[in-house]
Amino acid sequence: MVISRTPLRISFFGGGTDYPVWYEKNGGMTLSATINKYAYITVRELPPFFEYKHVIQYYLKEQVNSLEEIKHPVVREAAKLLNIKMGIEMVYNADLPARSGLGSSSTFTVGFLNALYAVKNQKITKRKLALDAINLEQNIIGEAVGSQDQTMAAFGGFKIIKFNKYKTFQVKDVLIKKARLQSLEENLLLCFTGFSRTAEKIAKFQIESTPKKEKELKKMMEIVNKAKDIIINSKISLDEFGKLLNEQWYLKKNLTRHISNQAIDDIYNTAIKAGAIGGKLLGAGGGGFMLFYAKKENHEKIKKSLKNKLFVPFKFEKTGSQIIYFSNE
């Protein structure tokens, strides 16, 4: 039996430049961090005493006799990719709901691949894990997804990822002093909008509009370096980071009309009036979690102004996907 633990992520800047349709021509850059909210995937060889060969449990429970019969596309194609012959039982649990803008779909993919490799007694690098997940989602399944979520889930930490024109990427740590990182953490609020969405549908609209949004996407890439400079320079107020989030949000909204809606705009504007300096909707758009930057003393006021919304405390983490339990007995 194997249990993998894989973190969810917060994408601060550059989201949208990690789609192949953009970075294969222009390059891309994102600034993201993983948080201490995780997806847990248990995989074991299923004993041959049942009427079925595979058991797959997520929000559905599948009991099937062949990989081809599995409805979950990631489970089916990952098992085929790794040439799984044995019967398997897979159980999925997570700290936060799916379709929330925190990269949960790719977190699942990375965590499941990591667990499958472990079941086969194979150790792989974080880079290999990320590349396999990107290939699985983009090329084998054909999903409209970017490349930062898989990379962050595999590597973990507070990272800048540079996506190159030749389908390669570099992952660089943002070297932040511990006290500075803690201050940033304390000034952030993670708010659930109350409704989820299917990211792929919104991403398709964004991908279609990409050729027409060169100005916005180039500006979003420039903001990544500005944000990094703010974070690593303790002489600059972190409030400038919040202002950049606000600037990025309006750039992102302009990519496609499907990213935001009146309900999301109302939540954002309410938080700003209550003292937030900036923020953004996480993920592709349409719902899920919103991130706000505000001085700590204004947090209670913001929460009261959005009293019907759920706020989730979190901390940054740096491990990426890990095998936290392994037994071959």
3-class state of residue 124 by DSSP: coil
The answer on 189 and 165 residing in a single domain is: no
Neighbouring C-alpha atoms within 13 Å toward the C-beta of 143: 20
The DSSP code sequence of 255-269 is T-TTS--HHHHHHHH
The total of structural domains in the chain comes to 2
- Stretch 258-268: mean pLDDT, rounded? 85
pTM of the model: 0.94
Q: How sure is the predictor about 261, in pLDDT bands with cuts at 50, 70 and 90?
A: confident
- pLDDT at residue 56 is higher than 90: yes
Quote the percentage of the chain above a pLDDT of 90. Answer: 79
Mean pLDDT lowest among 67-71, 134-138, 205-209:
205-209
Report the CATH number that the domain containing residue 274 is assigned in CATH: 3.30.70.890
- Stretch 6-11: mean pLDDT, rounded? 97
The answer on 151 and 44 residing in a single domain is: yes
40 vs 257, higher pLDDT: 40
Q: How sure is the predictor about 253, in pLDDT bands with cuts at 50, 70 and 90?
A: confident
- Stretch 175-182: mean pLDDT, rounded? 94
263 vs 155, higher pLDDT: 155
The answer on 231 and 164 residing in a single domain is: no
> What is the pLDDT of the chain when averaged over all its residues?
92
Q: What is the pLDDT of residue 211?
A: 67
Query: What is the distance between the alpha carbons of residues 295 and 186, in angstroms, rounded to a whole number?
Result: 8
The answer on 169 and 103 residing in a single domain is: yes
- pLDDT at residue 70 is higher than 60: yes
The answer on 198 and 76 residing in a single domain is: no
Q: 300-316, pLDDT tens digit by residue?
A: 999 999 998 999 999 99
The answer on 228 and 255 residing in a single domain is: yes
Q: 72-111, pLDDT tens digit by residue?
A: 999 999 999 999 999 999 999 999 988 788 999 999 999 9
Question: Which H or E run includes 38?
Answer: strand 28-45
Q: Which residues contact 78 (CB under 8 A, 6 or more apart)?
A: 109, 112, 113, 116, 136
Domain that holds residue 38: 2-175+317-326
- Stretch 52-70: mean pLDDT, rounded? 97
- Stretch 34-62: mean pLDDT, rounded? 96
The answer on 99 and 222 residing in a single domain is: no
Q: What is the pLDDT of residue 88?
A: 97
The answer on 195 and 69 residing in a single domain is: no
The answer on 111 and 36 residing in a single domain is: yes
Task: Please provide the distance, in angstroms rounded to a whole number, between the alpha carbons at the two ends of the chain.
Answer: 8
Q: What is the pLDDT of residue 213?
A: 77
Q: What is the pLDDT of residue 254?
A: 80
Report the candidate in 189, 131, 137, 130 with the shortest Cα–Cα distance to residue 154. 130
290 by Cβ neighbours in 10 Å (0-12 / 13-18 / 19+) ranks as buried
Q: How sure is the predictor about 255, in pLDDT bands with cuts at 50, 70 and 90?
A: confident
The answer on 78 and 147 residing in a single domain is: yes
Task: Give me the amino acid identity at 313.
Answer: P
Neighbouring C-alpha atoms within 13 Å toward the C-beta of 195: 10
Mean pLDDT lowest among 113-122, 209-218, 275-284:
209-218
The answer on 223 and 159 residing in a single domain is: no
Report the CATH number that the domain containing residue 51 is assigned in CATH: 3.30.230.10
Cα 147 to the center of its chain, rounded Å: 10
- Stretch 186-212: mean pLDDT, rounded? 72
Q: What is the pLDDT of residue 98?
A: 83
The answer on 197 and 164 residing in a single domain is: no
